[in-house]
Every structure is written in structure tokens, then in C-alpha cells.
Amino acid sequence: MPRGQKSKNRSRAKRQQARREVPEVQPTAEKAGSSVDESVGSSFPDGSAPQGVKTPGSFGAGVSCAGSGIGVRNAAGFADQKSSDGTQAGASVQHTLKDPIMRKASVLIEFLLDKFKMKEAVTKSEMLAVVNKKYKEHFSEILRRTSARLELVFGLELKEIDASTQSYLLVGKLGLSTEGSLSSNWGLPKTGLLMSILGVIFMKGNRATVQEVWQFLNGVGVYVGKKHLIFGEPEAFITDLVQENYLAYRQVPSSDPPSYEFLWGPRAHAETTKMKVLEVLAKVNGTVPSAFPNLYQLALRDQAEGTKKKSSRQGC
């Protein structure tokens, strides 16, 4: 067997072994009722199998797959109600679910991704029908939020292809507004979702529980056990981020029964900054990082510490 093929096989075997060794996340939430996506070939439910279904090494066992609609925008708004020491926001996630504009944007995103999969164009009237015509006066804001999330999370741009018929088409968009080697290693779509997950962790006080991360993922149409058009198997994607050291995964100290959380991994700290992540979140909101003063101050502090460490290494 060629040496290169042997190396690939060893690398694949190590990754599979590492996935099997990940601590099991105990279920803490009920499953919503719907059917399993049989194309996935997984024992995980599409938000629907009997409560308590578990798989060793799972990052998603027991996480509700009902669409939360939390998204990046609302999470950023609530996170900025935190105190400057980065403690978790006190605002209830349940309040987020009451935002009808964000819920409609989430519905529209799923519709457009289906159209993208079928390589079909979509008209403005079709999009209005999806979000419900009673939201016509809010359509421009719904479309703005939808477009921002499609670009930053999925690496897709909604382009108008025929003004006379108001027809649009989703196309791949190159170039994310972040620097460093994340984009070269992962490619735009996966980089966008990674930056968003890092943002959720930042907003939650530099650590986010498994449930909080999956609430966000549900809000952008990524569900446990349901293969995604762009990201593939969600749990495999999250596992890869951990194995690549972009995310750290650990048991919450003193938790009983055990619960688990995500933190930034060493490569995330090395290849991006809190300010860059905040820039992504601000763009989703159509604003600037300083619009979130508490997060902005934390990002500035992180930036200053990074500059100091860099100068120290250079012997300045």
C-alpha cells in the first residue's frame, strides 16, 4: 500500500478512536416529536426518538431538536446584558423565542437551503408566502437577517438574478471578513459556523453548555441526527472541531449528574480573536462591535493582552 494511503488510513483510524473515547453527554431535555431522517443512518433522532436515546461519545444526546430560533442576532443582544466580568446573561432564552421576525427568518433560511439543494431560483412572492403575507411590512428586515445569516453561517449569498420577476438564487460566496488560517483550513461555510459557535461561547462568559450550543445550532437549522446540506453530520462536525482543537470539551466542574460544556480550544485562541468573532456577530446585526459595549470591552481587553504577549515573545 502506498505510504500516503497508509498515513490517511492511520489518521482516519485515530479520529474514529478519538470519537469513541469522548465522554458521553447525559440527556437533559426531552425530544420533540417528528420523524427520523433515514438518510442519515444514525440512531439519533431528528428531534423525535424516544427520550433517553444515547450513543457513546455523543455531543448531542438528550438535546432537544425543536427549532429554538435563538440565532446569532438575539443571542448577541441578550449576551450584552452581561456584566463586564463576562458572567452569563441573565435574560431568559425563552424571551428570544418570542421574536417573530427571527422565527420567520429561520423558516425562510430552511426554505432557501432546500431551494439551494435543488439548484432552483426563488421569487419574492414565494418568500413572502413562506413567511406569511401578514409580515409583508417586515419583509425587508426578515430578508436582511436571513441574508446576513446565510452569508456568515453558511457562506451563501442571496443574489437577485431577474429584477423584472424579482427572482433570486443562492450562490456560494467567497471570502469571510475574518483573517487568519481558519478559512484556509476549513473553507468558508464551515468557518462561518465555527466563528458563530465561538461567538456563542464568548457571549456565555467564555464557556457554553452543550445545550446552549445546540440551541444556537437549532436556530440556524442544524439538528442532532439530521444530516445537513452543507455541514453533513452535525455531531461529526462538532467532534472534528474538538479533535482539531478549535473547541475544548469538558465536564462542568462539580456537576452532579455530570454535564458538559464547550470552551475555545488552543487553535481558536491562536487563529482568531474575540474582536474578530464580535465583528461577525455585529455584521449579522447590521451594526458595529461597539454597539455591544460589554462584549466590546472584553474583546478590547483580549486584544490588548494578545498584543502584550506577542511583544513579549518578540523580546520587546
Among 293, 196, 297, 282, CA closest to 241: 196
Among 204, 227, 230, 206, CA closest to 215: 204
* DSSP code of residue 291: G
Pinpoint the alpha helices (H) of 56-187: 71-79, 93-96, 100-117, 124-131, 139-154, 182-186
Among 107, 180, 92, CA closest to 139: 107
Phi/psi of residue 247, nearest 5 degrees: -125, 145
Q: Please, where in the chain does CATH 1.10.10.1200 lie?
A: 100-172
Q: Please, where in the chain does CATH 1.10.10.1210 lie?
A: 23-96+185-306
The pLDDT of residue 165 is above 80: yes
Architecture of domain 100-172: Orthogonal Bundle (1.10)
Q: How far is CA 17 from CA 10, 55, 210, 243, in A?
A: 10, 14, 21, 11
CB distance 304 to 275 below 8 Å? no
CB distance 152 to 192 below 8 Å? yes
Question: What DSSP line would sit under 211-272, residue for residue?
Answer: HHHHHHHHHTT--TT--BTTTBSHHHHHHHHHHTTSEEEEEPTT-SS--EEEEE-HHHHHH-
pLDDT top residue among 92 and 274: 274
Q: Is the CATH number of domain 23-96+185-306 3.30.70.330?
A: no
Q: Quote the distance between the C-alpha of residue 176 and its chain's center.
A: 15
Under the banding of pLDDT at 50, 70 and 90, the label for residue 169 is very high
The pLDDT of residue 146 is above 60: yes
Under the banding of pLDDT at 50, 70 and 90, the label for residue 101 is confident
Average pLDDT, the chain: 72
Distance, CA of 128 to CA of 132 (rounded, Å): 6
The pLDDT of residue 127 is above 90: yes
- Residue 35 has a pLDDT of 30
Tell me the percentage of the chain whose pLDDT exceeds 90. 32
The letter for the amino acid at 302 is: D
pLDDT top residue among 81 and 141: 141
> CB 213: neighbour CB atoms within 10 A?
22
The pLDDT of residue 258 is above 70: yes
Distance, CA of 194 to CA of 237 (rounded, Å): 10
Under the banding of pLDDT at 50, 70 and 90, the label for residue 95 is very low
CB distance 53 to 86 below 8 Å? no
